[in-house]
Amino acid sequence: MPELDDQIAVVTGAGSGIGQGIALVLAQRGADIVVSDIDIAAAEAVADEVRSFGKNALAVQSDVTDRESTDALASTVITDLGRIDILVNNAGVGGAPGWWQRSSPSPEDWEATYDVNVIGIVNTTSSFQDHLSERRSGRIINIASGAGRRGTGGFAHYSASKAAAINVSQGFALKLAEFNINVNCICPGLLWTPLWEKIAERDRIKSGETVLTGRQVFDQRLETSTPLGREQTPEDVGKLAAFLASDRSKNITGQSINLNGGSYMN
Ligand SMILES: NC(=O)c1ccc[n+]([C@@H]2O[C@H](COP(=O)([O-])OP(=O)(O)OC[C@H]3O[C@@H](n4cnc5c(N)ncnc54)[C@H](O)[C@@H]3O)[C@@H](O)[C@H]2O)c1
């Protein structure tokens, strides 16, 4: 289905999990992909996968918390590829390094989630917005979380950052609408990625669980929270991102779409 033929997409945090899934689905739908990640080896590996679909891929190291780094990303991409059409702000963390070994979030965890999950969106969008505005065309897709829809007891720092990601997306949607740029959020539910492996590890440490594996902790959560009874996948998120990047969504902006198997509805 070549609905994104001739489009160029930048995906942040594309070296793993959901970002990898988004990069691969957008490539399958015809887009060339800039695979950006703080981990360049991971980005290179995903770029190779993109090329296996016959699409052009460029791996670029970028730290979304650092505006100089996202400016350098924009400059490299525009110099090498000439333009971009789609920006997916996907990079995200659950806290500062080692957060999954702490039973409650430290001040550094609050800062890290805000820096990556919120300022990361602001930095990368700001670095590309003049380019997109001049072209009077663009699609920006931000990966928030179901956690941003409601408070969570032990993961409040992450929930708060994702609520802010939803809000900041609405702000950019209003600001960039006059330039024909649509900005939307996806709120995924439960996906077994390296991030969730850490969440499961943290839950096991907190509860003193010694019998269940991390994956079993995840499966329990899925069973008790998800009416459709299915885990969501990076490919699912990629398909929704492809829709939001396509002409089929031209009148959708400022929205946050749940992709959660019905675990909550709003
Ligand atoms: N896994 C889930 O169940 C789930 C649910 C809802 C939302 N999300 C969100 O989806 C996004 C992707 O999560 P995932 O599960 O694929 O996690 P992941 O840990 O597998 O991947 C995150 C990627 O972001 C990169 N990254 C981290 N900090 C960065 C930085 N400063 N600059 C650039 N890249 C950076 C990492 O290197 C990694 O490749 C995140 O925003 C996360 O909050 C995940």
Rounded to the nearest integer, the mean pLDDT of the chain is 97
Whole-number Å distance, alpha carbon 178 to ligand 1 midpoint, is 30
Which of 66, 88, 93 to mutate for ligand 1's pocket (most ligand atoms within 8 Å of CB)? 93
Sign of CA dihedral 9, 12, 13, 19: negative
**The pLDDT value given to residue 154:** 86
Sorted by sequence, the CB contacts under 8 Å of residue 110 that are 6+ apart come out as: 157, 160
Ligand 1 proximity of 128 Cβ (cutoff 6 Å): no
Q: Is 158 a catalytic residue?
A: yes
Whole-number Å distance, alpha carbon 147 to ligand 1 midpoint, is 14
The Cα 202–Cα 113 span in angstroms is 16
Grouping H, G, I as helix, E, B as strand and the rest as coil, residue 263 is coil
Residue 227 lies in a domain: no
Confidence of residue 243 (pLDDT cuts 50, 70, 90): very high
Averaged pLDDT for residues 192-221: 93
Question: Which residue has its alpha carbon closest to ligand 1 atom 42?
Answer: 92
Whole-number Å distance, alpha carbon 262 to ligand 1 midpoint, is 22
Q: Which two tokens stand for residue 126?
A: 């700001």
**The pLDDT value given to residue 1:** 57
Report the number of distinct structural domains present in the chain: 1
Provide the percentage of residues in the chain whose pLDDT is more than 90. 94
* Helical ranges in 136-254 per DSSP H: 156-176, 194-207, 214-225, 234-245
Using only C-alpha atoms, what is the Rg of the chain?
18
Which of 10, 16, 221 to mutate for ligand 1's pocket (most ligand atoms within 8 Å of CB)? 16
Whole-number Å distance, alpha carbon 16 to ligand 1 midpoint, is 7
**The pLDDT value given to residue 185:** 98
Residue 140 lies in a domain: yes
Residue 218 lies in a domain: no
Confidence of residue 189 (pLDDT cuts 50, 70, 90): very high
Residue that the structure tokens 């998800």 belong to: 226
Q: What is the CATH number of the domain that holds 60?
A: 3.40.50.720
Range of the domain at 102: 8-191+233-259
Residue 265 lies in a domain: no
Residue 171 lies in a domain: yes
* Helical ranges in 37-155 per DSSP H: 40-51, 67-81, 107-114, 120-135
Query: Per residue, what are the HEC states of 221-242?
Result: HHHHHCCCCCCCCHHHHHHHHH
Sorted by sequence, the CB contacts under 8 Å of residue 263 that are 6+ apart come out as: 146, 189, 190, 225, 226, 227
> What digits encode the pLDDT tens for the residues 175-184?
999 999 999 9
Residue 206 lies in a domain: no
Confidence of residue 52 (pLDDT cuts 50, 70, 90): very high
Ligand 1 proximity of 21 Cβ (cutoff 6 Å): no
Catalytic residue among 128, 155, 158, 192: 158
Residue 215 lies in a domain: no
Ligand 1 proximity of 140 Cβ (cutoff 6 Å): no
Q: Taking CA 173 as the corner, what is the angle to CA 256 and CA 157, rounded to the nearest 5 degrees?
A: 50
Residue 204 lies in a domain: no
Ligand 1 proximity of 195 Cβ (cutoff 6 Å): yes
Question: Which residue has its alpha carbon closest to ligand 1 atom 23?
Answer: 13
Strand partners, 257: 186
Question: Which residue has its alpha carbon closest to ligand 1 atom 12?
Answer: 18
